[in-house]
């Protein structure tokens, strides 16, 4: 499993759920992985899991709402592993769910945009100058970034649409330098975010499952497999693309 041997990968938002699975996947294919998120204890546990499987990884505490924190994350990544080849910007929060637009709270709206949109931009701002030739970025959008989503609410949907705009613009700007930048749009995947917002109630869970023509929710490993392909040389002609992985929801 040496598809990513010698490459340095940074996964932001890696302490749980999809990000954790991506970090483990990239390490299992030979990348040296820097895991970043706010929660040191959870991050350290994922590093221990990767190490036990024979991979190489370290954890750096970082908060995508702070420029200083992201600057420090990139400085530490480069000083630890000598460069950066792959960045996966996965950190995200859901905000208020099932709250209509006119009732949505302004502070929550700002917080979602600050983490999900400005956070991804902040990460790219400090990652791009550090990327080695043929560097790759994958940003985490959602099917909520492709169509309106009254379950997840206006802020989340707006934020995931904006990530695709950031991705496409940066992809065009840096393509000539050999840097590829794509987004991924998963359907509902079984994680803490999904549990908190959609899966805690059995009736709601069944409704959400039925939205997926494939008849079930996605698994974190299915997202990680797709991200592995997107950061590998196998997707070398793909940039500025928002890849859908949704069991047919948006078909
Ligand atoms: P999760 O809550 O398990 O993961 C979120 C991660 O982001 C955690 O590691 C958390 O620590 C980190 N994070 C949050 N705010 C941060 C901040 N300010 N700074 C640094 N890290 C921060 O949930 P998940 O479902 O694994 O979600 C991961 C990503 O996938 C999110 O961007 C989410 O919007 C997106 N997504 C999830 C689903 C789904 O159904 N689970 C579907 C589509 C997209």
**pLDDT tens, residue by residue, 175-230:** 999 999 999 999 999 998 888 888 889 999 999 999 999 999 999 999 999 999 99
Q: Which residue lies with its CA nearest to atom 10 of ligand 1? A: 13
> Does residue 129 fall inside a structural domain?
yes
Region 76-84: what's the mean pLDDT? 97
Q: Confidence class of residue 37 from pLDDT cuts 50, 70 and 90?
A: very high
CA of 64, closest atom in ligand 1: 19
Query: What's the confidence (pLDDT) of residue 15?
Result: 95
Whether 2 shows a pLDDT value over 90: the answer reads no
Domain containing residue 208: 8-244
Q: Please give, one letter per residue, the 3-state secondary structure of the chain.
A: CCCCCCCEEEEECCCCHHHHHHHHHHHHCCCEEEEEECCHHHHHHHHHHHHHCCCEEEEEECCCCCHHHHHHHHHHHHHHHCCEEEEEECCCCCCCCCCCHHHCCHHHHHHHHHHHHHHHHHHHHHHHHHEEEEEEEEEECCHHHCCCCCCCCHHHHHHHHHHHHHHHHHHHHHHHHCCEEEEEEECCECCHHHHHHHHCCHHHHHHHHHHCCCCCCECHHHHHHHHHHHHCHHHCCCCCCEEEECCCCCC
Q: Confidence class of residue 1 from pLDDT cuts 50, 70 and 90?
A: low
ipTM above 0.95, yes or no: yes
> Does residue 208 fall inside a structural domain?
yes
> Does residue 151 fall inside a structural domain?
yes
Decide whether any atom of ligand 1 lies within 6 Å of the 159 Cβ.
Answer: no
> Does residue 2 fall inside a structural domain?
no
- Domain of residue 142, CATH code: 3.40.50.720
């Amino acid at each position: 499993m040496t598809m990513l041997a010698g490459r340095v990968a940074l996964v932001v938002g890696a302490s749980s759920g999809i990000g954790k699975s991506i970090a483990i996947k990239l390490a299992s294919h030979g990348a040296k992985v820097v895991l970043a998120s706010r929660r040191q204890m959870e991050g350290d546990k994922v590093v221990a899991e990767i190490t036990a499987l024979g991979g190489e990884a370290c954890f750096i505490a970082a908060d995508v709402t702070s420029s200083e924190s992201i600057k420090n994350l990139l400085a530490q990544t480069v000083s630890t592993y000598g460069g950066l080849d792959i960045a996966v910007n996965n950190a995200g929060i859901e905000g208020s769910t099932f709250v209509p637009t006119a009732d949505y709270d302004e502070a929550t709206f700002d917080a979602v945009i600050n983490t999900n949109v400005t956070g991804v931009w902040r990460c790219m701002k400090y990652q791009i100058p550090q990327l080695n030739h043929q560097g790759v970025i994958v940003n985490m959008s959602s099917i909520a970034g492709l169509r309106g989503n009254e379950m997840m609410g206006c802020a989340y949907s707006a934020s995931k649409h904006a990530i695709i705009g950031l991705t496409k613009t940066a992809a065009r700007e840096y393509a000539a330098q050999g840097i590829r930048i794509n987004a991924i749009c998963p359907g509902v995947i079984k994680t803490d975010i999904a549990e908190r917002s959609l899966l805690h109630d059995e009736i709601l869970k069944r409704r959400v499952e039925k939205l997926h023509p494939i008849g079930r929710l996605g698994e974190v490993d299915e997202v990680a497999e797709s991200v592995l392909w997107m950061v590998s040389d196998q997707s070398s002609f793909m940039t500025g693309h928002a890849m859908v992985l949704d069991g047919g929801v948006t078909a």
